[in-house]
Structure 1
Amino acid sequence: MSSDDDPPESDPSPHVTAVVLAAGRGERLRSELPKPLYSVCGRAMASYVLHALANAGVSRAVVVVPPDGRGRLIEQRLREDAPDLNLCFAVQQEPRGTADAVLAAKGQVHTTQVLVVNGDLPLLSAEQIRPVLCHDHNDAVIATAQVDDPAEMGRIVRDSQGRLVATVEYRDADPAERAIREVNLGLYVFRSDFLWNALEQIVAQTRTGEAYATDAIPCAVRNQSAIAVEVELPDGRLNVETPADAANAEAVIRHRIIDRLLDSGAHIRDRNAVWIDAQASVDEGAVIEPGSHIRGNATIAQGSSIGPNAIIEASTVGRNCNLESCTVRGSVLHDNVEVGPYSTIRPGCTIDSHAHIGTHAELKEAHIGEHVQIGHFSYIGDAEIGARTNIGAGAITCNFDGQSKQRTIIGEDAFIGSDTMLIAPVRIGNRARTGAGAVVNKNVPDGGNAVGHPARLTPSRRAHSTTGDEL
């Protein structure tokens, strides 16, 4: 099962377009990445917002991004991890506040309601979005929650009858208002015709250089058409402002992911000692041992055992594999593959079923055939290894000639002796053999037997040579 969000319900809100505010710089987060792309459990913060919207039944979203390279990067990353909704992007040319940001999306909104949401809410869930979608007769609906530590979040002021009076930013709040524990979550629904008129007036009247979307709420309050809908906030807060907030959000989402996987039948030996990203998939019956990291869009099939202390990143692991204390990145491992401790499978590898990789081995851009045995302390780079071939301990494909990478091709049923050095480009034939410590810099024919420094064919095998490039 995927560690991703639960599947969305049927679409109850075709009349709503979400506007996701993702143009902020997030200076308090102290990251070179644009704030919407800050990673929490392997997923960009703004991507969590999009997935929550889709799960709540919102079918269209406009993401407001900054100009130039930052905006293009945000768009690229969010499209790579987009949920099932109609996704488009608008550019806020200058950082002039959230009112201007929402107006930047106006040309792409054609629905009767607009849901405005901050892009830094990785803990946002569909359960918190759905309640604010049920009040389409109001000019403005704001999602709120009661929290023990409101910190610097905006406060919600109500009258004696519980009606919304105002939203107050922390910097503008007096001591009595700062004592309020009901806070603004950064999630709003507006009637479209009300919102555009209000924001255009606000932007036109502002003299500070920045105008805020929340400034439209007092207008709705005066019209007696604004309500605050309190939602459950089981995890303390939604937004991320600092590295400490990000770490707290990571812990919450990590436990959500592990809960879903455990419920689906995955075996996680110690829930506090494994790290599984939001896009990863772990099947029923797979085992994740302590100290293991499952990163990116990695998939672990049924019956496989990962760890202890393994890193699997953006890779596909087939059924009944055993990967112990190793690192696998950007590769495909078919069924019944074994990888021993301290081995590294670098990007671009394909390992066919029943292959065995020993300890302290390294593979890169290699295709390993079925039932291949690769001994410990070996390096196989830019290579193709035929089925049932044995690679002795310490064997190396010397793939770099000082200018470019060269390939090594080894046929089926070959035997490469311990400490053999294969100087690429080179081809080793089917059933060929190399002696321990051989330095092979020319092709070896089918059935050939190469030994020495540099390697030469033994007399009994020399007759099999068929080209001038062979030994």
Structure 2
Amino acid sequence: MNLAVVILAAGSGTRMKSKTPKVLHPVAGKPMIKHVTENVLALEPQRTIVVVSKDADDVKRILGDSVKYAEQKEQLGTAHALGQAAPLLSDFNGDILVLNGDSPLIQSKSLEELVGHHHKSDAVATIVTTVLEDPFGYGRIIRDDGKVVQVIEEKEASPEQKQIQEINSGIYCFKSKEVLEKIDLIDADNKKKEYYLTDIVSLLVEQKFLVETFEWAPEEMLGVNSRLELAQASLIIYQRNLSKWLDNGVSIVDPLNTYIESDVEIGTDCIIHPQTYLKGNTKVENGCEIGPCTQIMDSKIGAASRVSFSVLTEAKTGANCTIGPYSHLRSGTVLADGAKIGSFSEIKNSSIGKGSKVPHLSYMGDTDIAEDVNVGAGTISCNYDGSKKHKTIIKKGAFIGSDTMLVAPVTIGENAFTGAGSVVGHDVPDDSLAIERTEQKNIPGYSKKKKRKK
């Protein structure tokens, strides 16, 4: 079966009140056009064409070369938009699936069923419809003796037609030859002076071609035209994702306050606590406990690890790691098995060895820590000299005293110690103690003298 797909994505989305193209607004963390194209590409169509406006550099950057592009310089209606894709379909013979780029709730299974129904019925056009209690704003399906004869837009409908509850979704499947022949016959003789793709139905019916409908659940047909609808669509996708993981051996303590994006992977026997955000290409392996109040983006969490009250971005942990509360793991951070990052510690572009600990109030930037190292509270690797970043290396078994300043570039040797409160700017040999602080001086009777001066 030959299939081409045309996605109409040139609309400006004025109701969004945004400089960002409507189709690039994120739904559950992903641009809505990406939701559409990913579900479309799962059908493995021979061609996928996205109709974009003249200012579509950002859309092209997001979608890349996974699709072809047709430009609609003026927004003159949906039929006009499809017409801009026609030159890219001139040598195509098969079915054309047409849908909108602002419909992020569609699912590949439903699209596959639509195409299958269209092909089986041998219809020239199949329209996805549903029945709504409040159909305001949607085109209505007009039938005669049960057969579709017209689709009338809301602004063109009579009061009687507006009472019809069966609506047009804006999703169609056409036979390519017939639709491409008829597209130029559509005129703009309507209140909006636009070329409506819905008018092709009347043209096909007049020539005795079969027009079919295929009903979907209303949820999948929700288009996004406002910030409210954007939020509603995000909530639906989050709930779909949560249901999937609940069915696959993941415990989610409070599904109403947990947010898991579509590309996240989670192993079995994990527990996800409230106010957890799992985003991007995050992978959580088996037996982890995540949250509460945790955000993890584009990171990998090793098996049986615990992350609480923390933020992780582009980080990777081994198994049995403990992170938090109130830890921040930034890009390039790698934790080996059994590592611990504790309260109010920040790690950036650093590796933390097996069983090593950065338990309290510390910053490790551009630092390589070997196994079995203990970093005392308040330790900072001073990696930036004002113009360049420098490396700190802490070797196996070292013990870093509390409030140590490690002035990079510097290397702390195996089993070496630094004294609490030291500023260490030179390499420390293996098995040595580095201590850098002035000798303590006690002044007898100081407090009494101080009081007499008041």
Note whether the superposition's TM-score is higher than 0.5: yes
Please name the residue that 2:374 is paired with. 390
Please name the residue that 1:227 is paired with. 211
Compute the displacement of 1:63 (Å): 1.6
Question: Is 1:33 aligned to residue 20 of structure 2?
Answer: yes
Please name the residue that 1:458 is paired with. none
Determine which of 385, 389, 392 is the counterpart of 1:408.
392
Question: Is 1:90 aligned to residue 77 of structure 2?
Answer: no
Please name the residue that 1:132 is paired with. 114
Question: Is 1:158 aligned to residue 143 of structure 2?
Answer: yes
Please name the residue that 1:342 is paired with. 326
Match of 1:187, SS?
A: strand
Please name the residue that 1:145 is paired with. 130
Please name the residue that 2:29 is paired with. 42
Compute the displacement of 1:232 (Å): 2.9
Question: Is 1:112 aligned to residue 85 of structure 2?
Answer: no
Question: Is 1:196 aligned to residue 180 of structure 2?
Answer: yes
Distance in 1 (CA, whole Å) between partners of 2:68 and 2:335 is 39
CA pair 254-426 structure 1, distance change in 2 beyond 3 A: same
Q: Is the 8 A contact 1:158 1:166 kept in 2?
A: yes
Please name the residue that 2:7 is paired with. 20
Distance in 1 (CA, whole Å) between partners of 2:166 and 2:29 is 31
Which segment drifts farther, 366-375 or 298-307?
A: 366-375
Please name the residue that 2:445 is paired with. none
Question: Is 1:61 aligned to residue 48 of structure 2?
Answer: yes
Aligned pairs for 1:243-254 (under 5 A) are 243-254=227-238
Compute the displacement of 1:59 (Å): 5.3
Distance in 2 (CA, whole Å) between partners of 1:75 and 1:45 is 14
Please name the residue that 1:175 is paired with. 159
Q: Is the 8 A contact 2:2 2:95 kept in 1?
A: yes
Q: Aligned AA for 2:397?
A: D
Q: Aligned AA for 1:322?
A: R
Distance in 1 (CA, whole Å) between partners of 2:132 and 2:404 is 65
Structure 2: segments with no counterpart, 5+ residues: 440-454
Please name the residue that 1:468 is paired with. none
CA RMSD of aligned residues (A): 2.4
Alignment deviations for residues 64-116 of structure 1 (CA, whole Å, 9 cap, x no partner): 22234xx2321332359xxxxx6333333333332232223223332322111
Q: Is the 8 A contact 1:42 1:279 kept in 2?
A: no
Compute the displacement of 1:234 (Å): 4.9
Which segment drifts farther, 218-227 or 177-186?
A: 218-227
Distance in 1 (CA, whole Å) between partners of 2:52 and 2:325 is 44
Q: Is the 8 A contact 2:155 2:191 kept in 1?
A: no
Q: Aligned AA for 2:38?
A: H
Q: Aligned AA for 1:34?
A: P
Determine which of 75, 85, 98 is the counterpart of 2:60.
75
Distance in 2 (CA, whole Å) between partners of 1:454 and 1:439 is 11
Compute the displacement of 1:209 (Å): 7.0
Please name the residue that 2:442 is paired with. none
Q: Is the 8 A contact 1:152 1:170 kept in 2?
A: yes
Alignment deviations for residues 354-402 of structure 1 (CA, whole Å, 9 cap, x no partner): 1011111111111111111112100111211112111111101112212
Larger Rg over CA atoms: 2
Compute the displacement of 1:216 (Å): 2.0
Residues matched between the structures, number = 434
Deviating 4+ runs (over 6 angstroms)? 203-209
Distance in 2 (CA, whole Å) between partners of 1:174 and 1:404 is 71
Q: Aligned AA for 2:294?
A: A
Which of structures 1 and 2 has the larger relative contact order (alpha carbons within 8 angstroms, sep 6+)? 1
Compute the displacement of 1:304 (Å): 0.8
Please name the residue that 1:309 is paired with. 293
Question: Is 1:381 aligned to residue 365 of structure 2?
Answer: yes
Alignment deviations for residues 151-173 of structure 1 (CA, whole Å, 9 cap, x no partner): 312211112x1111211211222
Q: Aligned AA for 2:36?
A: V
Alignment deviations for residues 290-329 of structure 1 (CA, whole Å, 9 cap, x no partner): 1211111111100111011111111111111100111111
Q: Aligned AA for 1:348?
A: G
Q: Is the 8 A contact 2:150 2:199 kept in 1?
A: no
Match of 1:347, SS?
A: coil
Please name the residue that 2:451 is paired with. none
Q: Is the 8 A contact 2:152 2:198 kept in 1?
A: no
Q: Is the 8 A contact 1:142 1:229 kept in 2?
A: yes
Q: Is the 8 A contact 1:144 1:228 kept in 2?
A: no
Distance in 1 (CA, whole Å) between partners of 2:198 and 2:411 is 69
Please name the residue that 2:239 is paired with. 255
Question: Is 1:323 aligned to residue 310 of structure 2?
Answer: no
Distance in 1 (CA, whole Å) between partners of 2:79 and 2:438 is 74
Match of 1:452, SS?
A: coil
Distance in 1 (CA, whole Å) between partners of 2:385 and 2:196 is 60
Distance in 1 (CA, whole Å) between partners of 2:189 and 2:147 is 27
Distance in 1 (CA, whole Å) between partners of 2:85 and 2:227 is 30
Under a length normalisation based on structure 1, what TM-score does the superposition of the two structures give? 0.86
Determine which of 431, 435, 440 is the counterpart of 2:424.
440
Percent identity between matched residues is: 34
Distance in 2 (CA, whole Å) between partners of 1:236 and 1:150 is 15
CA pair 454-150 structure 1, distance change in 2 beyond 3 A: farther
Distance in 2 (CA, whole Å) between partners of 1:292 and 1:53 is 30
